Every structure is written in C-alpha cells, then in structure tokens.
Structure 1
C-alpha cells in the first residue's frame, strides 16, 4: 500500500487519492499498455507508397480507433483503481500481470474482429483482411470478442473485490465502501453481458435476418449505456452528499 493519507480530502469522485506515488510496477504496466498500442499500430501495416494505398490505409482508422478505445478502457480502469486504493501488494501485482497478458494476447484478434465489423457495417467500403463468409464464422467472431472482453472485465472486477477485502486497512469511508461495491457490480456486468452475447450468437439460425445478426453486438451497446447510468448515479450521490457539507 502506498501513500496513504488519513487526513486527505476526497476528490471529485468521492475517493481519497491513496495512490499518488508511481511505483516501478505501475510504470511497467503503463509501458506494457503503451507497447500494446504500438503493436496495434504496426500490426499488418505497411508504409503507403501511393495515393491509393494511403486512402486504403486511412480507411482502417475506424478499426484502429475502436481497438485503441478498448485498450484505453482497461488502462483507464486500472489507473483509476490504482489512484483510489494505492495497493501494490502481491495480489495486486498478480492481477496487473494477468491484465497485461490478456491485453497482449487479444490485441491481434481484436483488430481483426473490429476490422470485420466495420467492413460489414460499411458494406465493404472499409476494407479488412479478416473475412466472415458463413454464420459459423460470425459465431466464432462473437465468441472470440466475448472471451476477450469478458475476461478483461472479470479481472477488473477482481481488482475491486481485492480492494473491498482490504476496506478496513484502507480506512474507506462509508461512501467509498458503497462506491467500491458498485464498481465490483459494474465490472462484473462485463463478463455477464459477454456470456449473453455469446449465447445469442450460438442461437443464430443458418439464415439470420439483419436484426438477428446484430443482436450479439447490440448487447454491448446496452451494457455501455447501463454502466454509464451507474457511473452517473454514483457521481450524483457523491455530489448530493458533498453539497450537504457532510462526508458519508
């Protein structure tokens, strides 16, 4: 545990910043995420030597952007967790290494899957080397994404569960305890919705309609909207309690 200040005031999110000091391990994790982004950029890319190739390269920007946002989501999630709790024990390091390992394993599949998604969405205007020809291919694509997204979300839920177990040691306030439980639930929704998406993909008929084809993917938009609502509700609860001049 690092830089624990009992008298420190909570920040805008209602949490005391217990992890202001950057450890060597935190620096390693940040460098690993940066390396993953580098791999994402250079994976399967050649330097364009003509206008035609440049235009084709620019058409892959949506794929890169979606993959980059995926990596950023989990880097930001871990960064927030580190700032709030400042934990640097063996369990935290194990989970951090697992998170980086999974991101590195999934970086290539994610780029291929998003490439196929944008090619399908644009009716082939946005190119991809990853071709989905059959319903079986489509199911496999959704299975792979569900596995990647679900396991990464599960690791983040374990991070917050670890902080919850140390709530007394960390001297979490009443609001921080409530928010920590909320974060466990919010991140646990990720593998739950991933399983739902995989189940919908498994139920796809051999000749699916456009709606049936998109349902396994629509699940993630619903997840994003609902978790966004949970975050806003937590911020509103903190703002209301803070405005009353009392710390929960």
Structure 2
C-alpha cells in the first residue's frame, strides 16, 4: 500500500516493524496447524470426504484467528506505538494464539460433530458428552477473553496516549469504540465460561450447547462500538470544554 492510501485510512505507516512481522508469523504458523488434513494427503474417496467434512470446523477456527490477527494489524497501522507495554501485550497475544490453536480446533470439531449428530467427524477418540463439551467451553471462554483483553489493552494504550499521538477527535473516538467492542468480547467470553462451569453433571445435550450459542451475542458488537465511540467523543468534548472556556 502506498503512503497516500495509508494516509487516507488514517494509518501511520505502510511498512512492518519486527514486532508486527513476529505477530504475522505466529498467526500464519497457527493457521498451518489448523489445516484440514495435516497428517497426510487423502489417498481415497473416503479419506477425501472425511477431510472435506472438517472444513466447517477449520473455517470457524480460521475466521476467529483472522479476527484477532486483523485487529492487531489495524491497531499497528493506526497508532504505531513502540513501548514496553505495547510490546508485552503483542507478545502475550502471540503466546495465547500458539497455546490456543489446538484446543480451538478440538472444540470447533467437537461442537460441529455434536450439533450434526456425528455426521461431521469427531476429532477426539474418546467419548465426548455434555460434561466434556462444557469443559472445553470453559477453556475456550477464558482463552477468548484473554486474547480480547490483549487487543483491548492495545487500544486502551492508544486512547491514553492520544495527545502524544496527536489523534484527531474521530481517531480517538474510534479507539474508544474499539475498547468498548473488546470489553464486550471479554464479557461474552466470561459469560459463556461461567454458564459452562455451572452446568449440572447430568446436563442434557441441548444445555451443553448454550455456552456456544451465547457467542451469537457478538452480533451486537457493532452497536457496542457505536456507543463506545459516542462516549469517547463526549469524554473528549467534556475535557476540551473547560480549556475552551
């Protein structure tokens, strides 16, 4: 991307730093671990169909990793903050992604196998019941919340350094909207983990799916972002008013 295009999008640079390159490489490596047929190339129609049935779980996992990767890309391009805190948060995000990738694939695979009654393949060899699904959702909820907190922390850092970065009101408001969005992510992730942890031992299959369906609340993220941006702009106006007076 040329400098004019980057400037029009509010980006503060078109090149990549070494930290951004490390984050990109970590996410790329995580995606390779999600590949639908990592062990060997299908050598029969049966194995090919079995591999293709893993596509939904792969697609869901890939979309989630892409969400966090692109969030870091946008933050890096918009603010270009080079500080110890920003570096630690980015490295923590890399660590969580690499720890998170295999449980993510197992959870998505198990969930799709469960909701299709076994038509999609189960990635686990042992028996999986409501208790096991609930346990995986607890782990997934905490991992999702941790990664969301990392990205939200990066945007919070940009908001707190808005004067040093000379952010416009629109740019600062956008940072406030992103903070609200990822705070909402954390709330949904923790809510899902809490519901999963509180499921009774004799939970029915449909009850074990409730923690997963709670993530559909993320469809309201756009509304939360707008509200967060408005609150941020009001905060800026309230701070600027005494100075103007």
User: TM-score when scaled to structure 2?
Assistant: 0.83
Question: CA shift at 1:34, angstroms?
Answer: 1.0
Does residue 192 of structure 1 match 2:187? yes
Question: What do the CA deviations read for 1:200-243 (whole angstroms, capped 9, x no partner)?
Answer: 11222334345433221121111x2111334577899xxxxxxx
Supply the RMSD in Å over aligned alpha carbons.
2.5
1:110 is matched with which residue? Answer: 104
* Counterpart in the other structure of 2:21: 27
Q: Over residues 84-139 of structure 1, what are the superposed CA-to-partner deviations in whole Å (9 max), with x where a residue is unaligned? A: 11223222221111111100011000000000000011110000222553332122
Distance 1:114 1:77 in 2: 21
8 Å Cα contact 2:36-2:55 kept in structure 1:
no
Deviation at 1:44, TM superposition (A): 5.2
* Residues 161 and 144 of structure 1: CA distance in aligned 2, closer, same or farther (over 3 Å): same
Distance 1:216 1:151, change over 3 A: same
Which residues of structure 2 form unaligned runs of 5+? 231-245
CA distance in 1, matches of 2:229, 2:156: 20
Counterpart CA distance in 2 for 1:154 and 1:105 is: 16
1 or 2, which has the higher helix percentage?
2
Q: Secondary structure at the match of 2:34?
A: helix
Q: Report how many residues are paired.
A: 226
Q: Is the 8 A contact 1:132 1:138 kept in 2?
A: no
**Unpaired runs of at least 5, structure 1:** 237-248
Q: How many angstroms apart in 1 are the aligned matches of 2:169 and 2:226? A: 18
1:155 aligns with 2:150: yes
Structure-2 residue corresponding to 1:246: none
For residues 231 and 110 of structure 1, the distance between their equivalents in structure 2, rounded to whole angstroms, comes to 26
Tell me which moved more, 110-119 or 37-46.
37-46
- Sort the Cα spacing of 1:202 and 1:177 in 2 relative to 1 into closer, same or farther, 3 A: same
Pick from 171, 175, 182: which aligns with 1:180? 175
Aligned mates of 1:112, 1:83 — CA distance in 2: 33
CA-to-aligned-CA distance 1:144-186 (integer Å, 9 cap, x gap): 1101111100101110111112111001111222221121111
Q: Give me the TM-score of the superposition, normalised by structure 1.
A: 0.82
